[in-house]
Structure 1
C-alpha cells in the first residue's frame, strides 16, 4: 500500500488491498441546496478493498434516490498510488471534489490550502451529532475542521487465536505490558519448535506501536509546532527492546520484516511466520488472507514508574472536500448522509473503521459476528479505557508535512539495525538528523 501511514497506523478495517480500478459512468445522487451548477459531475474518490468499494456505491445509490439533482462520478482504487495521483490532479487543476483523506496527511494538505474548511456547514447541512470533540480532532487543523472522521481508530495488536490454540497457548491478558509481550512472544517461538515467531517486528512501526510507547513516556510523535516530540533516549530504548526481541527469536529478522513492508499478503501472521502482528486490515479480508480466527488486544502498557496511558482514539479515515471545488456544499451533504443515514451506516458497517457515534454502532452491532465483532469489542474496550484514564495525554496533534517520510525513515532505520548494517547509536544519530531536516524543509 505504498507508504500507507493509515494502514500502518490505527485499526483501519477494510484497508486498500484491491487492485486499482476506475468506475466508468455516473451515479445520480442527492440534490437539494448544493452549489452544483449541473454543468459538471461531482467527482468522489476513495481507496479501499472491494468490499469498501461496494459499500460506498451502495450508499451512493441510496443517496441518488433521495435527490437526483447532484451527479456523482465515483473513482476508487487501492492505496498504492492514491495520493500520488491526487497530487498530480491538484497540480493540474483536476482534483476531485470529495475524497477519502488519510488522518496522517490531512494537516499537510490543509496547510497547503488544498482542502476546504467545513466549519461554516456544521450544524446546518453537515450533521455531526454524536461525534465527540476528541474524535473530530482527527480532522481538525489549526482550529478548523477539514475532514469528517469515518470511525473510531484505535491501536491494537491482531492475534491468531487458531494458531495459538494449536500451540496449546491461551490468549494473552488484555492488560499486558511490553515485558509481558516479550515473554509471551518468546513462549510462542519455543512452543512451535522454532517454526513460528511470536510477534512481527514493531521497531519501525511509527503510529501503531512507537507512538503509544512514546506517549507512555509522556511524549508524542510531534509537537504542536511541527517538531519531533520524543527524545533520542526514548527511541534508543525502543530500538533496544526490538533488538532484544529479535535476539531471542520473539520477533523475526530483517528478511521477513522487509518482505512484508506495505504488503499485507506477506504479513508474518498471514504467511504463518508469526502469531501476533501490529498490522491492521487483516480482519476485512480474513477469508482470503488468513482463515484463522483473530482477536485484538490493546497495545501493551509501560510497566515503569509513572507510565502514562499511551493509547488514544483517532478518526479512522476522513472525508474531505477540496478547496477549489465548485461542489463543496454538495460534497458536505454527502458527508452528512454517510455519517447519519441509517442505511448508509448499515451498508458501511466496519468497512471504514468502527462507526464513530453511539447511534451508528448500535445500528451495526446486530450484524456483527466473528472477527468483526471481536474487532468492534476491542475498539470499544480501548476507547472506554482511554476515556476513564486520568493519566492519558491529549489526542495527538495532526501530523505535520513530512510525517509520511519520517514514518518510512523509522522503518528503514530499524531494518538497517535488524540486518546489522547500523548500530543503534549510529542509526539514532542519522535518524534525528534526517528527520529534523525533513521537518525544517517541509
Structure 2
C-alpha cells in the first residue's frame, strides 16, 4: 500500500501524471484542478473528473496533486499568472486567498449554474467572505475526539461521552497514561496548539475564535485558561512530551496517535477514515469534553474544505459547472464518499449512506448524532487567519510546552499577536 508520506514525497510529479487523458488536443477544452491530500483522495477526485468528462464531451480535467509544499506552490502559481482553474482551500486560509484578489466571485453562478435547492440550509454561507461568494464548501464536518477502543478495553477505563467535562477529561488522561504504563506513550497529544480545539473551548463559553467583524472573539483570560489547562495536563503526565508534540505537523500521519505516542486525538469527524488506516485497532469517535454537564457542546458544522475558482480561469462557467457536478451529482457523491466530509446536498447524502463501509459509517453516524447539540455555522475565518495558523498558534504552544513561557505569558502573547495581524 502506498503510504501518505510516500505519496506526498512525489508531490506534483504525481499530479502531472494524473492528467486523465494525456495532452489536450486542439479540439478539447482543458481545465486544471489542483488539490492536496492522500492517495485515496486523489483516486476519488479523479473518478469524479472522469465522470464529468463523460458528461461533457470535449472537456479534459488535468488533475494536479500537491503535498507539503501545496501552499507555496499555489501562491507561486497565482503570483506568476499560472494558476490552476480550480483549487482546493481550507477554512483557515480561505479568506486570505479571497482577500488577495486571486479568486473569482461566484455569486452570478449560484443558482443558475451551481444549484443550491437540495443543499443544507444556509450552507453556502461557508463559501462567503464579507458577503461575497468566492467558492463552495465541499462538505461539512465537525470536531470530534478519536480514541483507540482497544486501549480503553485493556485499561478498563470508560471513553469520554457527552457529559465528560474538561476536568473529567484531565483526570481520565492522567489515569490512562498511568494505566498504559509504556514509555513514550500518553493518553493524548498536547492540543494547546490546535486553534480548532481552542474554538470549541471558546464556543462553550459563549464566544468564538473570530467575530463577524474579523477580529478575535476571546480575551487574555480565555487564552490563559486554555494554555493553563494543557500546561497542567502535561506537567501531570496526561499528554505527550514537548519533544513528541513538536513533531506534529497538524496532519493525520504526524499526529501522536498515528505515530504511536497517544491513544486519543482531537480532530475532525471526516479524518476518522485517515486515522483508522494508520491504526491496527478500531478507532471510536465521540464529542469533545464540555465546560459543564448540560452546557453547550462547542460543536457546529463547518466546511471540510472549499474549492475556489481562479480569477484568471479561462472558462469560468465551465469551472462553475464542475463545482455544481462535484456537489450535486449522485454518482460523483458516491465516488467521493466521506473522504472530505459529509455531503452538503441532502439527496447525495442519502444516496451515499447506503454505500459506506464500516469505518465511513461511523463518521456518517457521528455527524447525524450531533445534530441536536450543534450550534450555528461559525463566522467566516478572516483575512490573516492563515498567518496565525502558520506563525502563532503552534509557536506559542510549543514555547509553553518547553517551559520557555508561562500560561499567562502565552495568553497575553496570543491576543497581542492576533490583534496585530488581524488589524494590519
TM-score w.r.t. structure 1 length? 0.86
Of 404, 412, 423, 2:395 maps to 412
The answer to which of 413-422 and 161-170 deviates more is 161-170
Of 16, 21, 27, 1:23 maps to 16
Of 34, 39, 52, 1:50 maps to 39
For the 8 Å contact 1:126–1:332, the answer to whether it is kept is: yes
2:240 pairs with 1:247: no
For the 8 Å contact 1:154–1:383, the answer to whether it is kept is: no
Take 2:372 and 2:283, find their aligned partners in 1: how far apart are those partners?
21
Matched residue, 2:89: 101
**Displacement of 1:236 after TM fit?**
0.7
The answer to which of 15-24 and 326-335 deviates more is 15-24
**Displacement of 1:194 after TM fit?**
5.4
**Displacement of 1:402 after TM fit?**
1.9
Matched residue, 1:82: 70
- Tell me which stretches of 4 or more aligned residues in structure 1 moved more than 6 Å: 14-17
Unpaired runs of 5+ residues, structure 2, are none
Take 2:411 and 2:55, find their aligned partners in 1: how far apart are those partners?
56
Q: 1:17 to 1:222 in 2, by over 3 A?
A: farther
2:413 pairs with 1:430: yes
Take 1:227 and 1:416, find their aligned partners in 2: how far apart are those partners?
24
Matched residue, 2:225: 237
Take 2:255 and 2:64, find their aligned partners in 1: how far apart are those partners?
28
Q: How many residues align?
A: 412
SS of the residue 1:18 aligns to? helix
- What whole-Å deviation, never above 9, does each CA across 1:313-347 have from its counterpart, x for those lacking one? 01111122112212110011111111121211111
SS of the residue 2:410 aligns to? helix
The answer to which of 271-280 and 412-421 deviates more is 271-280
More helix by share: 2
Matching of residues 185-264 of structure 1 within 5 Å: 185-193=173-181, 195=183, 196-207=185-196, 209-264=197-252
Matching of residues 52-201 of structure 1 within 5 Å: 52-78=41-67, 80-193=68-181, 195=183, 196-201=185-190
Matched residue, 1:356: 344
Take 1:213 and 1:114, find their aligned partners in 2: how far apart are those partners?
33
For the 8 Å contact 1:16–1:47, the answer to whether it is kept is: no
**Displacement of 1:39 after TM fit?**
7.5
Matched residue, 2:263: 275
**Displacement of 1:399 after TM fit?**
1.4
For the 8 Å contact 2:165–2:293, the answer to whether it is kept is: no
**Displacement of 1:225 after TM fit?**
2.3
Q: 1:134 to 1:415 in 2, by over 3 A?
A: farther
SS of the residue 1:361 aligns to? helix
For the 8 Å contact 2:19–2:64, the answer to whether it is kept is: no
Unpaired runs of 5+ residues, structure 1, are 1-13, 29-36, 387-391
**Displacement of 1:123 after TM fit?**
2.0
Q: 1:250 to 1:26 in 2, by over 3 A?
A: closer
Q: 1:39 to 1:374 in 2, by over 3 A?
A: closer
**Displacement of 1:25 after TM fit?**
6.9
SS of the residue 2:292 aligns to? coil
SS of the residue 2:101 aligns to? coil
Take 2:190 and 2:121, find their aligned partners in 1: how far apart are those partners?
34
Q: 1:38 to 1:127 in 2, by over 3 A?
A: farther
For the 8 Å contact 2:166–2:289, the answer to whether it is kept is: yes
Take 2:293 and 2:144, find their aligned partners in 1: how far apart are those partners?
21
Q: CA RMSD in A?
A: 2.5
Matched residue, 2:30: 41
For the 8 Å contact 2:271–2:339, the answer to whether it is kept is: no
For the 8 Å contact 2:150–2:282, the answer to whether it is kept is: yes
**Displacement of 1:214 after TM fit?**
1.0
**Displacement of 1:285 after TM fit?**
3.4
For the 8 Å contact 2:227–2:411, the answer to whether it is kept is: no
Q: 1:288 to 1:412 in 2, by over 3 A?
A: same
For the 8 Å contact 2:227–2:410, the answer to whether it is kept is: no
The answer to which of 136-145 and 342-351 deviates more is 136-145
Matched residue, 2:283: 294
Q: 1:355 to 1:18 in 2, by over 3 A?
A: farther
